[in-house]
Homo-oligomer: A and B are copies of this chain.
Amino acid sequence: MSDPRTDPDLERVLPVLEAVRAGAPLVHCITATVSMSLVADGLLAAGARPMMTETLAEAPVVTTLADALLINLGTLSTDAMDAIPATVDVATRQERPWVLDPTAIGIAPVRTPLARELLASRPTVVRGNASEVLTLAGHDGGGRGADSTARVEAAEAAARQVAGRTGGAVAVSGEVDLLLDGTRTARLARGSALLPRVTGTGCLLGALTAACASMVEDSWEAALAATTWMALAGERAAERATGPGSFRMHLLDALDEIGR
């Protein structure tokens, strides 16, 4: 398992993993408070470096140092609400890749229009579950909190609409992950049922996608590499785990190990 000589999914993306480990990109994250720790530890385990400041006074300025930016709407504090537009502006002006993770959009009255407006700043990759991608495209996604009530295949047309607007890649997470841009589509049936039983694994995938996108020009390749990395780490962690608590720990070890 997860040996590049025998695992073609890993073989396909291994150069991206190696580039992240060699480049140690600095990823600025405005993300859900509840998952900050997993996101930061996951980036470090993968060989990248996290930064997390979310005030209007500081986030845009420190983003000038960053190699990539993650905007995750998971908690959306008042500080984050105020800082996100200006921080995204810095990333786009400096032509740094940035990832939009429209966590839990739906009935939430601030993040839902904010996520749609942010599409105009053309995120390099949009990553979400099926409900979130449907909602982002203007449909009724039916999400409840951070959970998807829709299946990935139901969001494929919506994902294409989003990709059409941004010109970048869209990654829809689910039992079978869907990755597409204007010309290519991949499906990945890997990972573990324990991944959604740990808070913030989706947020971490968004951050890892930003790290990969800072190392390769092709945003679809970056999204595919991050999704594969996370899925294979999830498989390895599941082999070792006795429950969701030990899975979380092994997941971080496995992010460090996959493909070495």
Q: How far apart sit A61 and B78, CA to CA, in the bound complex (Å)?
A: 16
CB distance A53 to B76 under 8 Å? yes
CB distance B256 to A57 under 8 Å? no
CB distance B244 to A257 under 8 Å? no
Q: List 21 A-B contacts (CB under 8 A).
A: A26-B144, A34-B40, A34-B52, A37-B199, A41-B198, A41-B245, A49-B144, A49-B145, A54-B77, A55-B110, A57-B110, A58-B110, A61-B108, A65-B144, A65-B145, A243-B254, A244-B253, A245-B249, A245-B252, A245-B256, A246-B252
Instruction: List 4 A-B pairs, minimum CB-CB distance, nearest first.
Output: A245-B252, A243-B253, A40-B199, A51-B145
Q: How far apart sit A49 and B214, CA to CA, in the bound complex (Å)?
A: 33
Question: Interface residues of A, CB < 8 Å — how many?
Answer: 64
- Bitwise, A131-174 to B at CB < 8 A (1) or not (0) is 00000000000001111000000000000000000000000000
The reply to whether the CB of A36 lies closer than 8 angstroms to some CB of chain B is yes
Q: How far apart sit A64 and B241, CA to CA, in the bound complex (Å)?
A: 35
The reply to whether the CB of A94 lies closer than 8 angstroms to some CB of chain B is no
The reply to whether the CB of A118 lies closer than 8 angstroms to some CB of chain B is no
> What residue in chain B is nearest A252 (Cβ atoms)?
B245
Q: How far apart sit A28 and B137, CA to CA, in the bound complex (Å)?
A: 26
Of B81, B146, B252, the residue contacting A51 (CB under 8 A) is: B146
Nearest Cβ on chain B to A200's Cβ, whole angstroms: 8
CB distance A52 to B75 under 8 Å? yes
Which chain B residues lie closer than 8 Å to A44 at the CB level? 196-199, 244
- Bitwise, A32-56 to B at CB < 8 A (1) or not (0) is 1111111011001100011111110
